[in-house]
Amino acid sequence: MNINLTLFAQAITFAAFIWFTAKFVWPPLMRAVEARQKQIADGLAAGERGKQDLEQAAKRTEELLREARQKAQEILAHADKRAVELIEEAKAAAKTQGEQLVAGAKAEIDQEVFRAKEMLRAQVAALAVTGAEKILRREVDAKAHADLLRAVEAEL
Amino acid sequence: MAAEAELTPTQYIGQHLTFNAKAVGDGAFWTLHVDTLATAVLLGISSIGFLWWVVRGATSGVPGKRQAFIELAFDFVDAQVKDIFHGDRRLIAPVALTVFVWVLLMNSMDFLPVDWVAKFTHLFAPEGFRIVPTADVNSTFALALSVWLLMIYFSIAVKGFGGWIHELFCSPFGANPVLWPANFLFNLVEYVSKPLSHSLRLFGNMYAGEIIFLLLWMMAATSLVGTVFASLLGLGWAIFHILIVALQAYIFMMLTIVYLAMAHESH
């Protein structure tokens, strides 16, 4: 038996076998490995992204809340101010109205006083005329003495 | 291989099928196959060492290529165990993984060109050194026997010693005392046949593979044409052998899981 030929055949076969393995057995294995790696990496990345999104959303919520709170406070302050203003306005209006009322009343009173005075004057004049008649014991001709009478009346 | 003398085909095959046997006592039984033992231990340590090395640097993030590969193998074995065995997998899954990886590696030794390896092993073992441990019935039987012992251990652990004895006599035919001998005989056959079929299936496949390679190399030695043909056929057989190697490791693992799962079931 020649040993060297056998060795030769075995070497060729072994080399070809290694080539076959590298060409057809190894790649599918590597593909599976890489697919697994990719799947895990994608999953982890998705998880990380979700976490970031959540954080961002939380931050935004906080911001919105703070804004809303601030706005509410502004509105409250505005309302307070407006209320004070309204009260002041109402006060001023009431004051002027009161003054007007008082003035009106005063005018009315003045008028009443004036009218009373006039009436009084007329009555006094009548009285004076009657007194004068009585003193003169005769009729005073109203027509003849109208000028006189009116002068007396005006004096009163 | 002795270079000075021309070898006959019988001698060639005979030499390649000679174990590196060391007698450690009187009688044929007290012999150690040093080659089988050394190769198996070397492969076992290197595979476990590789797994340990990868797993030690394992990350829960995106795995490297090595880790992803180990994870794929691990998931594969774990899925098989989960399918067959519904219970605590903490012992059975590692057993299955060990058996699968180890047997796969031992089977893979068949791919190495025997005469080249022989050139190297002759430096320290001129009388012969077989590098396929699973082509030695001793190692396959040792594996099957270990599984067999685990099987009995789990049977007793799950059902109790009394339960196990009860099962030996009362299943599968019934608890009637008349049926006890039949049940026992049936179980005895089962207990004997399990490790035998488990180990001989693997041994037979690997041994046959080895023989076919040796026959092809003998053909290669006849002439130049023989060398070319033997190379081509050897390549074909090696490629087909990938299937056998993986399949036999898979079958060995599946039988291990099935036997251990059966030991957990009460009848």
DSSP string spanning B161-218?
A: HHHHHHHHHHTTT-S-GGGHHHHHHHHHHHHHHHHHHHHHHHHHHHHHHHHHHHHHHH
Write out the catalytic residue numbers of B. Answer: 197, 201, 205
Neighbours of B63 (CB within 10 A): 21
- Between A43-52, B75-84, B175-184, B204-213, the lowest mean confidence (pLDDT) is in B175-184
Instruction: Give me the mean pLDDT over the B88-108 stretch.
Output: 90
Q: Which residue has the higher pLDDT, A33 or B18?
A: A33
Facing B116 at nearest CB: one of A5, A10, A16: A10
Do the domain assignments include residue B4? no
- Structural domain boundaries enclosing B224: 9-264
Identify all chain A residues contacting B116, using CB atoms and an 8 Å cutoff.
7, 10-11, 14
Do the domain assignments include residue B228? yes
How many angstroms separate the first and last alpha carbons of chain B? Answer: 56
Chain B nearest-CA residue for A39: B62
Smallest CA–CA distance, residue A46 to chain B, in Å, is 13
Total domain count, chain B: 1
Residue A126, pLDDT score: 83
Residue whose C-alpha is closest to residue B222's, from B2, B7, B5:
B7
Do the domain assignments include residue B162? yes
Which ipTM was obtained for this model? 0.71
Reported as a single tens digit per residue, the pLDDT across A92-109 is 999 999 999 999 999 999
Do the domain assignments include residue B245? yes
Residues 232-261, chain B: which have Cβ within 8 Å of A?
234-235, 238-239, 242
Reported as a single tens digit per residue, the pLDDT across B156-172 is 988 899 988 988 888 88
- With vertex at residue B87, the alpha carbon angle to CA B255 and CA B97, rounded to the nearest 5 degrees, is 45
Helix then strand then coil, % of chain B, to nearest 5: 75, 0, 20
Smallest CA–CA distance, residue B41 to chain A, in Å, is 24
Do the domain assignments include residue B2? no
Reported as a single tens digit per residue, the pLDDT across B100-123 is 999 999 999 988 888 888 888 888
Facing A10 at nearest CB: one of B6, B61, B115: B115
Cα distance between residue B209 and residue B130, in whole Å: 13
Cα distance between residue B241 and residue B234, in whole Å: 10
Q: What is the percent of chain A where pLDDT is above 90?
A: 51
Instruction: Give me the mean pLDDT over the A71-94 stretch.
Output: 95
Given a cut of 80, whether residue B229 has pLDDT beyond it is: yes
Identify all chain A residues contacting B238, using CB atoms and an 8 Å cutoff.
13, 17, 20
Cβ pair B92, B257 in contact under 8 A: yes
How many residue contacts between A and B have a Cβ separation below 8 Å? Answer: 97
Given a cut of 50, whether residue A145 has pLDDT beyond it is: yes
**Average pLDDT of chain B, as a whole number:** 86
Instruction: Give me the mean pLDDT over the B11-19 stretch.
Output: 80
Token code pair at residue B240: 């087909």
Identify all chain B residues contacting A40, using CB atoms and an 8 Å cutoff.
61-63, 68
Smallest CA–CA distance, residue B40 to chain A, in Å, is 22
Cα distance between residue A11 and residue B101, in whole Å: 27
Facing B71 at nearest CB: one of A3, A29, A36: A36
Facing B235 at nearest CB: one of A13, A32, A40: A13
Q: What is the percent of chain B where pLDDT is above 90?
A: 37
Confidence of residue B1 (pLDDT cuts 50, 70, 90): very low
Confidence of residue A141 (pLDDT cuts 50, 70, 90): low
- When scoring B60, B62, B117, B244 by the number of chain A Cβ atoms within 10 A, the one with the most, hence best to mutate, is B62
Residue B63, pLDDT score: 83
Confidence of residue A1 (pLDDT cuts 50, 70, 90): very low
Given a cut of 90, whether residue A9 has pLDDT beyond it is: no
Supply the pTM of this predicted model: 0.72
User: How many CA atoms within 13 Å lie on the side-chain side of A3?
Assistant: 17
- Pairwise CB contact (< 8 Å): B111 & A17: yes
Given a cut of 50, whether residue B2 has pLDDT beyond it is: no
Chain A nearest-CA residue for B64: A37
Q: What is the percent of chain A where pLDDT is above 70?
A: 90
Please indicate if any CB of chain A lies within 8 Å of the CB of B189.
no
Q: In which element (H, E) is residue B33 found?
A: strand B31-33
Do the domain assignments include residue B1? no
- Structural domain boundaries enclosing A145: 3-155
Total domain count, chain A: 1
Beta strands in A21-89 (DSSP E): none
Residue whose C-alpha is closest to residue B105's, from B192, B41, B190:
B41
